[in-house]
Chain A
């Protein structure tokens, strides 16, 4: 048993070492960017879950603010109503007439194609489809199966419209930045007067969390910029938190499923390991070793 514990300790040490080695380049990011501000998220930890209210508010911020420049290429409208998505369940709009809406059961839809909220969101977008029988492209209202349409026709157009900068796609942004959700939230709130000695060219803004400090995206979140459907006060902190939560879900929509299955797998393997341990002891009790 002693050797086992020792060996496990060595293994754990090797893994922590490996994790440390891969994490090291993140700390040595170029420019003198600040470390992202620590923040608590509902999905962290073994039993974490996405907060649907948060995701709904976050989607509203994305749609009303970010979507002007940033695409969500990997996402379809249907994703909004799948699994842990923001609109799989929503408050019953008719319930408030009957019992003040306080204890109303939310409406849930297994199939996003039937989900009225998802259908409504999709139908607000104009999708170019075709060619039709005459070889012409045509426009129609979106359906849940459609992808979120790109904001710009191509990268060149995006750059021309944004002073040379290319607004990145947001569907993986939380995974594609080494600071993750903390980084995205910090960046949205990180606009300040440039410190002395830093020249900020026109079209750029000083952001202490951005590598190099100068970012082409203007500050976005100002007090009361959106009016939340659920009445939550739209402070910049609240909006940054909500939209980051939405983007974290968009980057990793199966996260909660994965954690839930992980717990089952670990419990199963643990019981299996205990049984094998006793089998091992039993078999080896017959011989000196």
Chain B
């Protein structure tokens, strides 16, 4: 951790434990005395919010697992039994299903915050990469979880996504059969998805611990992007950020509760209340909202590129859209972290944010429909947006580092906070 430990055991028991397993020392240094930049804004509260949601998902998920039956002939009915007959099952199920959506909402805000303030740059590359690993694991977990209720969208979503792997050359067919456990999505697929859906959240929890470890070595980034220079730049994590995160968590939970209790189905799809039927394809297969931008990228590649078929091209583009995040720390060549001081980059960032939202819109729409009555179809629109998505990472950020002239930055975090005012009060410690 940054700096020497300030933990002082108060009692005999604490001293005894500290010389054998210094876990109280670890907690103290990580979550009480941890020096945190004093200028963090509300966008920094989403880390705490995400931790809370991981816990909510695991607790509700374990309870649901006690009542759920992973068998194609019973899965759909067992979810209905949970919602109708299990005491408070309707609450647990709604918390879990909507919890997934809010987990993704929080993680997207957390990631865009990192993109805007340059939190992926040195010395936080490993922290960022671990975050992308968590995001990938979340996507896999959420996808497999959505299959479990065994509704029409569960089944056909599983069919579409597993078929993507079949598009890979040579190994594709084999991987697809291995995922299915047979020659189609069936009972073997459901049981293995259930086992993995139960396992992966604990893997996520493990990587989250690494993520926090990797955070506590260089310490938090902050809205100025400046490195912490003196003790005056920081405040102890507790009570300053425990209370601020606590407030943000409760406000976010209010939004969550509004959906859980009043709009439990708004973020889902009506077709998933119809039991899976391999003989009836829904007219419009769409994934959950949090996958829509990637779904749009997948469908945007409608043309062959040399030996790469359109289908394979779509799959590569979709996975590439996530893979590019792994190398982002080395693509952005600017030495300035925060886009507060990058007058050109911040506009490209804003466009990037809008492009991601628009890709989600494309993913939800029929590719051949016109966009708002214009001659442009959604598939063409998605192609333009996909081009920008990749250009942002592969062209704009690398080039801007050389061409952009950053604005003047304050001398330190303390100077940024205080402006020209002399410090009148000192942090009470």
Known contacts A22-B269, A258-B264, A280-B247; A74/B364 CB under 8 A? no
A126 in the interface, Cβ–Cβ < 8 Å? Answer: no
Q: Is the CB of A262 within 8 A of B83?
A: no
Q: Is the CB of B90 within 8 A of A258?
A: yes
A259-B83 Cα distance, complex, nearest whole Å: 15
Within 8 A of B (CB), among A28-86: 28-30, 46, 73-74, 79
Q: Is the CB of B254 within 8 A of A273?
A: yes
Q: Is the CB of B421 within 8 A of A172?
A: no
Question: Could you say which of B36-44, B309-317, B381-389 contacts chain A?
Answer: B36-44
> Nearest chain-A residue to B246 (Cβ)?
A276
> Nearest chain-B residue to A13 (Cβ)?
B357
B425 in the interface, Cβ–Cβ < 8 Å? Answer: yes
A224-B275 Cα distance, complex, nearest whole Å: 35
Known contacts A11-B255, A28-B369; A276/B247 CB under 8 A? yes
Q: Is the CB of B105 within 8 A of A18?
A: yes
Q: How far is the CB of B359 from chain A (nearest CB, A)?
A: 10
A25-B363 Cα distance, complex, nearest whole Å: 10
> Nearest chain-A residue to B269 (Cβ)?
A22
Contacts of B244 on A, CB cut-off 8 Å?
280, 284
Question: Could you say which of A2-10, A104-112, A192-200 contacts chain B?
Answer: A2-10
Q: What is the 8 Å Cβ interface bit string for chain A, positions 272-285, against chain B (1 contact, 0 not)?
A: 11001101100110
Known contacts A21-B364, A258-B94; A172/B38 CB under 8 A? no
Contacts of A19 on B, CB cut-off 8 Å?
263, 266-267
Q: Is the CB of A289 within 8 A of B39?
A: yes
Contacts of A279 on B, CB cut-off 8 Å?
243, 246-247
Q: Name A17's contact: one of B84, B265, B357 (CB within 8 Å).
A: B357
B31 in the interface, Cβ–Cβ < 8 Å? Answer: no
B261 in the interface, Cβ–Cβ < 8 Å? Answer: yes
Q: Is the CB of B428 within 8 A of A286?
A: yes
A25-B364 Cα distance, complex, nearest whole Å: 6
Contacts of A73 on B, CB cut-off 8 Å?
77
> Nearest chain-A residue to B361 (Cβ)?
A21
Q: Specify which of A8, A178, A288 lies most central, judged by the most chain B CB atoms within 10 Å of its CB.
A: A288
Q: Is the CB of B365 within 8 A of A24?
A: yes
B210 in the interface, Cβ–Cβ < 8 Å? Answer: no
A17-B80 Cα distance, complex, nearest whole Å: 29
B283 in the interface, Cβ–Cβ < 8 Å? Answer: yes
Q: Is the CB of A29 within 8 A of B283?
A: yes
Contacts of A265 on B, CB cut-off 8 Å?
257, 261
A161 in the interface, Cβ–Cβ < 8 Å? Answer: no
A269 in the interface, Cβ–Cβ < 8 Å? Answer: yes
> Nearest chain-A residue to B81 (Cβ)?
A74
A79-B84 Cα distance, complex, nearest whole Å: 9
Q: How far is the CB of B152 from chain A (nearest CB, A)?
A: 9
Contacts of B262 on A, CB cut-off 8 Å?
46, 259, 262
> Nearest chain-B residue to A178 (Cβ)?
B270
A266 in the interface, Cβ–Cβ < 8 Å? Answer: yes
Q: Is the CB of A262 within 8 A of B243?
A: no
A36-B259 Cα distance, complex, nearest whole Å: 24
Q: How far is the CB of A167 from chain B (nearest CB, A)?
A: 14
> Nearest chain-A residue to B247 (Cβ)?
A276
> Nearest chain-A residue to B264 (Cβ)?
A258
A79-B90 Cα distance, complex, nearest whole Å: 15
Q: Is the CB of B243 within 8 A of A258?
A: no
A176 in the interface, Cβ–Cβ < 8 Å? Answer: yes
B239 in the interface, Cβ–Cβ < 8 Å? Answer: yes
Contacts of A164 on B, CB cut-off 8 Å?
none
A30-B282 Cα distance, complex, nearest whole Å: 10
B427 in the interface, Cβ–Cβ < 8 Å? Answer: yes
Within 8 A of A (CB), among B252-310: 252-255, 257-258, 260-271, 273-274, 283-284, 286, 289, 292
Q: Is the CB of A270 within 8 A of B267?
A: no
Within 8 A of A (CB), among B380-429: 417-418, 421, 423-428
A76-B90 Cα distance, complex, nearest whole Å: 17
A254 in the interface, Cβ–Cβ < 8 Å? Answer: yes
B191 in the interface, Cβ–Cβ < 8 Å? Answer: no
Contacts of A4 on B, CB cut-off 8 Å?
42
A211 in the interface, Cβ–Cβ < 8 Å? Answer: yes
Within 8 A of A (CB), among B70-91: 77, 80, 83-84, 90-91
Q: Is the CB of B364 within 8 A of A24?
A: yes
Contacts of A225 on B, CB cut-off 8 Å?
none
Q: What is the 8 Å Cβ interface bit string for chain B, positions 205-218, against chain A (1 contact, 0 not)?
A: 00000000000000
Q: Is the CB of B91 within 8 A of A287?
A: no
A286-B428 Cα distance, complex, nearest whole Å: 7
> Nearest chain-A residue to B250 (Cβ)?
A273
Q: How far is the CB of B107 from chain A (nearest CB, A)?
A: 12
A270-B258 Cα distance, complex, nearest whole Å: 12
Contacts of B377 on A, CB cut-off 8 Å?
none
> Nearest chain-A residue to B293 (Cβ)?
A21
Q: Is the CB of A254 within 8 A of B90?
A: yes
> Nearest chain-A residue to B251 (Cβ)?
A273
B235 in the interface, Cβ–Cβ < 8 Å? Answer: yes
Known contacts A21-B361, A254-B90; A74/B80 CB under 8 A? yes
Q: How far is the CB of B372 from chain A (nearest CB, A)?
A: 12
| Besides the known contacts A21-B361, A287-B240, 18 further A-B residue pairs in the complex with CB atoms under 8 A apart | A11-B255, A21-B364, A25-B269, A74-B80, A258-B264, A262-B260, A269-B257, A270-B254, A272-B250, A273-B251, A276-B247, A283-B239, A286-B425, A286-B427, A287-B426, A287-B427, A287-B428, A289-B417
| 10 intermolecular pairs with C-beta atoms under 8 Å apart | A3-B42, A15-B105, A25-B284, A172-B274, A176-B270, A254-B84, A261-B91, A266-B254, A270-B254, A287-B38
- What 10 A-B pairs come out closest when comparing CB atoms? A262-B261, A176-B273, A276-B247, A178-B270, A175-B273, A254-B90, A273-B250, A24-B364, A30-B283, A21-B364
